[in-house]
């Protein structure tokens, strides 16, 4: 068994001293695994990401990462009126490794174009970011993370609200990234989709469960994760989490 | 007009300021800090008045006033019992009122008008040198901070993961705004200088959809407003600072009508 790319041990923390937004998270993700992070809004998905990114003001427990993770936020968090093209946004993935006094390397420009091609947006490289569709914008933000070339990618609801072609492209890309030996942590509300990935982490202010989808995604665990926000259909094999978007 | 040494010196001053304030304004708008720019320039009036009363260079008074304004704004904005914009409005109004009170005291020299609206044509060699030094420092800092400023303005939540701490770079921008304000205060005054920060940037962002051209265009529009304003002042015998401000404000109005 290879060493995990992400590992946490009793990870807890929050935004103010004495108030934990998330407690007791212990999990490990290996190379080639996609981990679905399930939970209601306010359940701790974003808090977990901020803890892994080293941005959580109050953090206890252990976090081990194979390298600096790349983060893909929800597309509506990015400014639509900002004067940048899709290529400019993808290039931002190279900013962290470029000293302020250096121009961006030619190799970084090539990497940004290649990343856009990978997400199917080579032709839109010169388009203004704010003029793209929601799904295309999401793919540009994923391209930016690809340019970072990180072993671990944290994706915040990347498939929520995107058009079908974009969703298909993103899911295919997840498979490619798995094949490259990266680990992906994907916050999602889609329980059915979570079943198709390798691991599931259920959060509701604390860790409810972690493991294989078949073992974790039981009606009891989903009920504990989502509470009143969950609708379980039929024999319990299909569950729908009711989405409430935060504004 | 250019044969007149007073106008020539004023033109140097306003062109140097344009070089810094135009691009600075683009970042201020992209970071949604237009209100901070307005607050900073108005809030430094007590510093200007005290410098005038003490007979020290106005740029020193502006620096002290900007520090005082920044401190008061930061304190007011952090008071969780009231809304941040309300706190800032109260702090700035109080500072502006204090400045007016000092300036209108019987023993104060009659220079309030100059402090509010600047004295572009009466700028001294020392003021010009100070403005040039500060403006060039702002330009250099903006060039060095281009990437983190872009990251934090475009996608604040992801900026840290991409290598830029949002709070750190937002503070840097406010400091540069303070420095730019100090540089412009003696020439354009507490009330008018904000026009050269905000208006050219608003016009540039309306005309171009790319960042680098917007930064260059804002500097060019600010320089054009400076030249046009001084020409208007020279030939129509109008107040120089106000003419520059009017030309600057005309730019976003014209671009709005044209696009």
Query: Using CA atoms in the order A129, A132, A134, A135, what is the torsion angle rounded to 10 degrees?
Result: -100
The side-by-side arrangement of strands in the sheet containing A70-72 is: A70-72, A152-156, A183-188, A34-38, A199-203, A207-211
**Is residue A221's pLDDT more than 60?**
yes
**Is residue B29's pLDDT more than 50?**
yes
On average, the pLDDT of chain B sits at: 88
Nearest chain B Cα distance for residue A78, angstroms: 5
Amino acid A229: pLDDT:
61
Give the integer Cα–Cα distance in Å for A217 and B122.
77
Answer whether B22's CB lies under 8 Å from B223's CB.
yes
User: Quick one: which of A88, A76, A116 has its CA closest to B210?
Assistant: A88
**Is residue A29's pLDDT more than 60?**
yes
**Is residue A233's pLDDT more than 60?**
no
User: Quick one: which of B176, B63, B75, B52 has its CA closest to B122?
Assistant: B52
Which residues of chain B make contact with A128, given a CB cutoff of 8 A?
209
**Is residue A124's pLDDT more than 80?**
yes
Q: pTM, whole model, 2 decimals?
A: 0.87
In the DSSP assignment, the letter for residue B53 is H
Chain B residues interacting with chain A (CB cutoff of 8 angstroms) = 30, 144-148, 150-151, 153-158, 160-164, 205, 208-211, 214
Band of residue A238 on the pLDDT scale cut at 50, 70, 90: low
**Is residue A241's pLDDT more than 70?**
no
Lowest mean pLDDT among A27-31, A168-172, B118-122, B228-232: B118-122
Lowest mean pLDDT among A72-76, A181-185, B28-32, B177-181: A72-76
Which residues of chain B make contact with A83, given a CB cutoff of 8 A?
30, 205, 208-211, 214
Amino acid A48: pLDDT:
96
Residue of B nearest to A153 (CA): B161
| pLDDT (mean) for B184-205 | 91
Which residues of chain A make contact with B148, given a CB cutoff of 8 A?
95, 100
Answer whether B214's CB lies under 8 Å from A83's CB.
yes
**Other CB atoms within 10 A of residue B252 CB:** 20
User: Quick one: which of A134, A162, A137 has its CA closest to A85?
Assistant: A137
| pLDDT (mean) for B187-206 | 91
Give the integer Cα–Cα distance in Å for A158 and A104.
28
| Backbone phi and psi for residue A103, each to the nearest 5 degrees, phi listed first | -75, 155
Across the interface, whether the CB atoms of B160 and A53 are under 8 A apart is answered yes
Residue of B nearest to A100 (CA): B144
Which residues of chain A make contact with B149, given a CB cutoff of 8 A?
none
Amino acid B136: pLDDT:
95
Distances (CA, A) of B15 to B161, B178, B217, B238: 38, 19, 14, 19
Amino acid B67: pLDDT:
85
Chain A residues interacting with chain B (CB cutoff of 8 angstroms) = 53-55, 68-73, 77-79, 82-85, 88-89, 92-93, 95-98, 100-101, 128, 141, 144, 148, 154
Across the interface, whether the CB atoms of B214 and A83 are under 8 A apart is answered yes
CATH classification code of A1-69+150-247: 3.40.50.300
| pLDDT (mean) for B106-132 | 81
Amino acid A246: pLDDT:
45
Nearest chain A Cα distance for residue B93, angstroms: 31
Band of residue B153 on the pLDDT scale cut at 50, 70, 90: very high
Which residues of chain A make contact with B157, given a CB cutoff of 8 A?
73, 77
Amino acid B91: pLDDT:
83
Amino acid B82: pLDDT:
73
| pLDDT (mean) for B143-171 | 92
Band of residue B105 on the pLDDT scale cut at 50, 70, 90: confident
**Is residue A130's pLDDT more than 60?**
yes
Give the integer Cα–Cα distance in Å for A217 and B157.
30
On average, the pLDDT of chain A sits at: 89
Q: Which domains does chain B have, with CATH numbers?
A: 5-258 (1.10.3470.10)
Give the integer Cα–Cα distance in Å for A18 and A47.
15
**A214: helix, strand or coil:** helix
Across the interface, whether the CB atoms of B147 and A95 are under 8 A apart is answered yes
Residue B157 host element (H or E): helix B156-159
Interface test with B, best of A46, A83, A246 (most B CBs within 10 A): A83
- Residue ranges per structural domain of chain A: 1-69+150-247, 80-149
Residues A61-119 pLDDT 10s:
999 999 899 999 987 778 889 999 999 999 999 999 998 889 999 999 999 999 999 99
Band of residue A239 on the pLDDT scale cut at 50, 70, 90: low
Amino acid A247: pLDDT:
41
What is the ipTM for the molecules in this complex? 0.85
């Amino acid at each position: 068994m290879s060493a995990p790319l992400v590992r946490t041990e009793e990870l807890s923390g929050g935004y103010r001293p004495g108030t934990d937004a998330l407690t007791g998270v212990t999990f490990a993700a290996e190379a080639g695994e996609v981990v679905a992070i399930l939970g209601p809004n306010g359940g701790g998905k974003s808090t977990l990401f901020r803890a892994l990114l080293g941005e959580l003001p109050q953090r206890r427990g252990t976090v081990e990462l194979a390298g600096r993770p790349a983060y893909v936020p929800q597309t509506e968090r990015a400014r639509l009126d900002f004067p940048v093209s899709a290529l400019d946004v993808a290039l931002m993935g190279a900013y962290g490794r470029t000293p302020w006094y250096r121009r961006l390397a030619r190799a970084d420009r090539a990497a940004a174009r290649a990343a856009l091609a990978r997400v199917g947006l080579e032709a839109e490289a010169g388009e203004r970011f704010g003029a793209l569709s929601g799904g295309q914008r999401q793919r540009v933000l994923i391209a930016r993370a690809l340019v970072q070339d990180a072993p671990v990618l944290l994706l915040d609801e990347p498939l929520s609200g995107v058009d079908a072609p974009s969703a298909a492209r993103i899911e295919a890309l997840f498979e490619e990234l798995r094949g490259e030996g990266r680990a992906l942590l994907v916050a999602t509300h889609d329980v059915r989709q979570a079943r198709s990935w390798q691991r599931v982490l259920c959060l509701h202010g604390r860790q409810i469960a972690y493991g294989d989808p078949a073992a974790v995604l039981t009606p009891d665990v989903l009920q504990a994760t989502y509470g009143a926000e969950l609708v379980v259909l039929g024999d319990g094999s299909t569950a729908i989490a009711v989405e409430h978007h935060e504004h | 007009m250019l044969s007149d040494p007073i106008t020539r010196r004023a033109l140097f001053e306003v062109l140097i300021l344009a070089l810094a304030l135009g691009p600075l304004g683009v970042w201020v708008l992209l970071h949604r800090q237009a209100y901070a720019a307005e607050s900073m320039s108005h809030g430094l009036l007590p510093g200007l008045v005290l410098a005038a009363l003490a007979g020290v260079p106005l740029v020193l008074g502006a620096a002290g006033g900007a520090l005082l304004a920044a401190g008061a704004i930061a304190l007011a904005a952090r008071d969780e019992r009231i809304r941040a914009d309300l706190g800032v409005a109260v702090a700035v109004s109080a500072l502006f009122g204090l400045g007016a009170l000092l300036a209108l005291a019987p023993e104060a020299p009659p220079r309030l008008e100059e402090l509010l609206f600047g004295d572009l044509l009466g700028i001294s060699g020392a003021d010009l040198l100070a403005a040039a030094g500060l403006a060039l420092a702002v330009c250099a800092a903006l060039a060095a901070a281009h990437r983190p400023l872009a990251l934090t303005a475009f996608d604040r939540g992801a900026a840290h993961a991409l290598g830029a701490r949002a709070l750190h770079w937002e503070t840097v921008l406010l400091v540069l705004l303070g420095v730019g304000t100090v540089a412009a205060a003696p020439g354009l005054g507490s009330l008018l200088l904000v026009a050269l920060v905000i208006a050219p940037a608003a016009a540039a962002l309306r005309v171009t959809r790319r960042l680098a051209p917007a930064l260059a265009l804002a500097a060019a529009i600010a320089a054009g407003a400076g030249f046009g304003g001084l020409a208007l002042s020279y030939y129509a015998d109008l107040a120089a600072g106000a003419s520059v401000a009017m030309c600057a404000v005309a730019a976003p109005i014209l671009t709005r009508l044209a696009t």
